Amino acid sequence: MFPKIVVCGGRPLKGRVRINGAKNAALAMLCGVILARDNVVIDNVPDISDVRHIIQVITHLGVRVSWRKGDTLSINVPALRMREAPYELVKKLRASNLLLGPMLARCGEVRIPLPGGCNIGARPMDLHFKGLSALGARLSLDKGYVFARASRLKGAQVYLDFPSVGATENIMMAACLAEGQTLIENAAKEPEVVDLANFLNGLGARIFGAGTDVIRIEGVKELGRSVQYSVIPDRIEAGTFMMAAVATGGKVEIEGVIPRHIQPLTAKLREVGAEIVEGEDTLLVQRTDEPLHSVNVKTMPYPGFPTDMQSQLMALLSVTPGTSVIVENIYESRFQVAQEYRRMGARIKVEGRVAIIEGVPRLFGAQVRATDLRAGAGLVVAGLLAEGETEVSGADLIYRGYKDFEDRLIGLGADIRRNNAVGSGLAFGEKSDIGRRNITTRLE
Ligand code: UD1
C-alpha cells in the first residue's frame, strides 16, 4: 500500500487539538523494558507505526506486550527468549539501536543488525559503541550486525563528543545494571532522555542528573519493581500543529503539553510574528494581522531549536516576507525536502548545511514526496497554506510519527484526506481510519 495525503490549502485552522505521548520517549521505554523483571504498564503510548514496529521486535525477543484500553500498554518481561533481533524488523526503525544497551545488560550478549530509519543522512553509532566499550563490552561488526558481549558491565566515566540522544539513552540503560557508578558527560538533555530516566528509576534504577550535562548512574543488581508510568506529551507533534496554525493564519489551542519543552519553538515562532499564550498545559497559537518576519535559525541539541521541527518551519518561512536562513547542524541530509517545496513555488537555495529561503507571496499545490517523517509533516503544512491541491506521497513515513494526523487536522477545519493506492481496499478520497488500519495487525 502506498498511501498519499491530499490537501486542499487555504483554510485557516481553528479549534483545539490534544497532543499524544512522545514517540521518541515511548520507543526508548519500550527498549528499556527489557531491563525489567516485573510487570510494567505504560500509559499515553502513541499508536503509531514506529511503536508497533518496536513492539514487534521486543515481542520477538520474548517480551509480552498487549494494548489495554486507549493508549495503555501492559508489558511482562520473562527471561528473554532471543538474543538476536531480526533484520527484517529492525531495518524499519532507527530506534531499535536502543536495544543494544539493555539487551547487553540483561543477557550478557546481543547481536543486532545496524538499524534503518529515516533517510536523513549518515547516522553512525560510534558514540554508542564508545560508551558501551568503556563499560566493558566487547563489540564487533560483521556483515551489517553488531555483536556485543560482556559477562557483567562495569561502571565507567564516558565523555560523549556530541550529546547524542540515542547514545546517552543506550549507555544510561546499560549502566543501570552495571557494577558501580557510571558518569555520562556531555549527555543529551532532551526531555525524552529525562522521561526515560524517570521511567527506569520507577523500575528501581538509580539515575541522577538526567536533563543536565552529566548523568550519574549507580548500578543495581536488577530492576525488579512493577511500575505504571505515563509518557510525556510529544513536543514535536505539538510543534507541528503550532506551525500549521500559524502557517494558515488560524487560531489553535494545543492541549495536554508541557510548554517548557516547546520553548525553543515558541520563542522562534514569536520572532516570526505568531502570538502564543502559554497556559499550564496548553498553548494558544494564532497569527496576528501583522505581516510575518523572516528569521535565522540553527538546529541544535536541546534546549536549542529541534532538528525535528526544521522541515515544518521551512514550510512557514517559504511564505514569510524577507530572507530567512536555516543552518542544519544535526543531520546533513535534512534539506532534501527543499526540492519538494520548490515544486510548490518556494524559493530555497541550499548550500551544504545552510538553506536560504526567500519568502514568496504564496505556494501552489503540487505532487510532492515525503523524504522523511518530518519532511512529510512539513509538506502537509505547506499543503495547508498553499493555493490548490497538494498530493503528498510517501505518507507511510508520516504515520511513523503522527497518530490520526488527517482526522485531527480535519477536526481543525482542514480539507485533507487520505488516498490509498490500488489494493488498499479504499476508494480514492475515501476517508480512512488513519493510524489503525494502515499498519500491521495489533499485537495483543
Ligand atoms: C534522536 C531522535 C530523532 C532526533 C534526534 C536529534 C529518537 C528515536 N530519535 O535520534 O528524532 O532527530 O535524536 O534530536 O529518539 N551521532 C554520531 N555518532 C553516534 C550517534 C549520533 O555521530 O554514535 C550523530 C548523528 O549522526 C547526528 C547527531 O549525532 O548527526 C544526532 O544524533 P542523535 O542525537 O544520536 O539522534 P538519534 O538518537 O539517532
Average pLDDT, the chain: 91
**pLDDT tier at 119 (50, 70, 90 boundaries)?**
low
Shortest-distance atom of ligand 1 to CA 129: 23
Q: What is the pLDDT of residue 429?
A: 36
Averaged over 93-120, what is the pLDDT? 82
Q: pTM to 2 decimals? A: 0.93
Cα of 33 vs its chain's centroid, Å = 19
Q: What is the pLDDT of residue 404?
A: 95
- Kindly report, residue by residue over 180-213, the tens digit of the pLDDT: 999 999 999 999 999 999 999 999 999 999 999 9
Identify which of 48, 54, 162, 335 to mutate to test ligand 1's pocket (most ligand atoms within 8 A of the CB). Answer: 162
Q: What is the CATH number of domain 4-20+234-441?
A: 3.65.10.10
**pLDDT tier at 29 (50, 70, 90 boundaries)?**
very high
Cα of 87 vs its chain's centroid, Å = 21
CA of 124 to the centre of ligand 1 (A): 9
Q: Where are the domains of the chain?
A: 4-20+234-441, 23-220
Averaged over 151-172, what is the pLDDT? 96
Q: What is the pLDDT of residue 444?
A: 22
148: phi then psi, degrees, rounded to nearest 5: -130, 140
C-alpha distances out from residue 317 to 121, 285, 303, 430, Å: 23, 17, 21, 32
Quote the crossing angle between the two packed helices 23-32 and 235-247, to the nearest 10°.
Answer: 170
CA of 301 to the centre of ligand 1 (A): 9
Q: What is the pLDDT of residue 211?
A: 98
**pLDDT tier at 116 (50, 70, 90 boundaries)?**
low
* Range with lowest mean pLDDT among 100-104, 143-147, 335-339: 143-147
Q: Could you tell me the CATH superfamily of domain 23-220?
A: Enolpyruvate transferase domain (3.65.10.10)
